[in-house]
C-alpha cells in the first residue's frame, strides 16, 4: 500500500486529493492545525474511527511554521509521496499579512524540503505552485513564461517554486511544480470570488440578502474544476522524471462574466444586486490569466473534464441547497443573514 503525506489536507484541494488517493488504495496522512473551531469539515466524510481496522486516513497536528515536528513526522511516516498544499493562499490577505505569508507560503516549502533532505527519506514531492506567479506577464502563460509576481503571496510562491527546482538539481530529490491556474468547486473557500458570488447569489435568490459587494469586475481568470486539477497533481508524481507543468483549461472569463452568468442562471439581474466596494481591490492586480496546458496534455495525457458552465451549475446546485437550509433556519428565527465577509 502506497503512503501519501499531505499538507493543507483540510483545504479545498486537500479534500479532493484525499478522496482520489483513498480511492486508489493509498494510506493517507494529513497535517492539520489546532483550531478552536473544527476545521476538518471538508474531509469529515472520509474519516473513519481509528479503531476501525479499515481506517486509512490519519491526521497529525502540526504547523508549517515548525520545522522540527515536520521532520519527525516525515521520518516516522516515511511517505512515498508528499503533496505540499498548505499555504496562506489568499492573495488579498497577503497584502495585509505579508510577513506571515512569506513564512508559511514561502518558508513552509523550505521546511518540508529540508525535512526530506535531512531525514533522507525516499519520496516524491509535489509543490503547489500558482498561476499567480505569472502576475503581469501577458497571456497566454506557459511553463516558459517569465514570472512577474504582483503580490506578497505570488512572491512567496515564486520563492517556493525555485526551491523545489533547486532541491531537485542540488540533491536529486524528485520534486515537481504544478503551476495550477484558478480552480474552484462547491468546497472553495467562501472569500474567493467565485464562491463569494455563488453563495451570495443563492442567498439573494432565497430572500436572505439584497446586495453583493465585489472589487475589480474586469479581472480575468482561467477557472477550472478542483476535482480535475488534483488528478493532474497525482499524475505528475507518477512520471519517471520530475518536471514542472502548467495546469489550466485554456479559457478565460472576467469576474463580471462569472457574476452575470450566475445571476442569470437564477433569473436575477446582476446589475441590480452587485455593487463595487473599493475595499476589495488589491494594491496591485493580476489582470489576465490564461493558461496554455499543452505540455500537460501531451506528457501527462491530462485534460479537464468539467467546463466553465458545468462548474457554475455544480457550485450553484450546492449553494442553493445551503441557502435553502439557511432560509429554513432564518424563518424559524435562528439564522444570521447579510453577513459581509472579508476579502
Using CB under 6 A as the binding rule, whether residue 39 contacts ligand NAP is answered as yes
User: Which DSSP state fits 141?
Assistant: B
CB of 333 to ligand NAP, least distance (A): 31
Using CB under 6 A as the binding rule, whether residue 18 contacts ligand NAP is answered as no
Using CB under 6 A as the binding rule, whether residue 190 contacts ligand NAP is answered as no
- Which option in ligand NAP, ligand G4F, none does residue 145 bind, with CB closer than 5 to 8 A by kind? none
Using CB under 6 A as the binding rule, whether residue 102 contacts ligand NAP is answered as no
Give just the sign of the alpha carbon dihedral 312, 314, 320, 326.
Answer: negative
CB of 273 to ligand NAP, least distance (A): 25
Task: Give the distance from CA 127 to its chain's centroid.
Answer: 12
Using CB under 6 A as the binding rule, whether residue 116 contacts ligand NAP is answered as no
Question: How many Cα atoms are found within 13 Å in the side-chain-facing hemisphere of 142?
Answer: 8
Catalytic residue flag (residue 190):
no
Strand 3-7 and strand 81-84: pairing?
A: parallel
Per-residue binding letters, 72-101, with ligand NAP (x by CB under 6 A): -------------xxxxx------------
> Cβ(103)–Cβ(65) under 8 Å?
yes
DSSP string, 298-341: III-----S-HHHHHHHHHHHHHHHHHHHHHHHHTT-----PPP
Using CB under 6 A as the binding rule, whether residue 109 contacts ligand G4F is answered as no
Using CB under 6 A as the binding rule, whether residue 280 contacts ligand G4F is answered as yes
CB atoms within 10 A of CB 244: 18
**Which range touches ligand G4F (CB under 6 A), out of 25-33, 127-135, 234-242, 261-269?**
127-135
Cβ distance to ligand G4F smaller for residue 29 or 195:
195
**Which range touches ligand NAP (CB under 6 A), out of 57-65, 167-175, 268-276, 314-322?**
57-65
**198: nearest Cα among 49, 311, 69, 109:** 311
User: Which DSSP state fits 132?
Assistant: G
CB of 18 to ligand G4F, least distance (A): 18
CB of 342 to ligand G4F, least distance (A): 9
> Cβ(185)–Cβ(16) under 8 Å?
yes
How many Å apart are CA 289 and CA 209, to the nearest integer? 31
In the complex, the residues that contact ligand NAP under the rule CB under 6 A are 7-8, 10-14, 31, 33, 35, 39, 63-65, 85-89, 104, 128, 130, 180, 182-183, 189
Active site residues: 130, 132, 153
Amino acid at each position: 500500500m502506497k503512503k501519501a503525506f499531505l499538507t493543507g489536507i483540510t483545504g479545498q484541494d486537500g479534500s479532493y486529493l484525499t478522496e482520489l488517493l483513498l480511492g486508489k488504495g493509498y494510506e493517507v496522512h494529513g497535517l492539520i492545525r489546532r483550531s478552536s473551531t473544527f476545521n476538518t469539515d471538508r474531509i469529515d466524510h472520509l474519516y473513519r474511527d481509528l479503531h476501525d481496522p479499515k481506517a486509512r486516513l490519519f491526521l497529525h497536528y502540526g504547523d508549517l511554521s515548525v520545522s522540527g515536528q515536520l521532520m519527525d513526522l516525515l521520518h516516522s511516516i516515511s511517505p512515498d509521496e508528499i503533496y505540499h498544499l498548505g499555504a496562506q493562499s489568499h492573495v488579498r490577505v497577503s497584502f495585509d499579512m505579508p510577513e506571515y505569508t512569506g513564512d508559511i507560503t514561502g518558508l513552509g516549502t523550505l521546511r518540508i524540503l529540508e525535512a526530506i533532505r535531512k531525514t533522507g527519506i525516499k519520496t516524491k514531492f509535489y509543490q503547489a505552485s500558482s498561476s499567480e506567479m505569472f502576475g503581469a506577464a501577458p497571456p497566454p502563460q506557459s511553463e516558459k513564461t517569465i514570472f512577474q509576481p504582483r503580490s506578497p503571496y505570488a512572491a512567496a510562491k515564486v520563492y517556493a517554486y525555485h526551491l523545489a527546482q533547486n532541491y531537485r538539481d542540488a540533491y536529486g530529490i524528485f520534486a515537481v511544480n504544478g503551476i495550477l491556474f484558478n480552480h474552484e468547486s462547491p468546497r472553495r473557500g467562501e472569500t474567493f470570488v467565485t464562491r463569494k458570488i455563488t453563495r451570495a447569489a443563492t442567498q439573494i435568490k432565497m430572500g436572505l440578502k439584497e446586495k453583493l459587494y465585489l472589487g475589480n469586475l474586469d479581472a480575468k481568470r482561467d477557472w477550472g474544476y478542483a476535482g480535475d486539477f488534483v488528478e493532474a497533481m497525482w499524475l505528475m508524481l507518477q512520471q519517471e522524471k520530475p518536471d514542472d507543468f502548467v495546469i489550466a483549461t485554456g479559457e478565460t472569463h472576467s469576474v463580471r462574466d462569472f457574476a452575470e452568468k450566475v445571476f442569470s442562471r437564477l433569473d436575477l439581474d446582476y446589475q441590480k444586486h452587485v455593487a463595487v466596494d473599493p475595499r476589495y481591490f488589491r494594491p496591485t492586480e493580476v489582470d489576465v490569466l490564461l493558461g496554455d496546458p499543452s505540455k500537460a496534455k501531451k506528457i501527462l495525457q491530462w485534460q479537464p473534464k468539467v467546463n466553465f458552465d458545468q462548474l457554475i451549475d455544480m457550485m450553484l446546485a450546492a449553494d442553493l441547497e445551503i441557502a435553502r437550509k439557511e432560509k429554513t433556519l432564518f424563518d424559524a428565527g435562528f439564522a444570521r443573514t447579510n453577513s459581509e465577509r472579508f476579502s
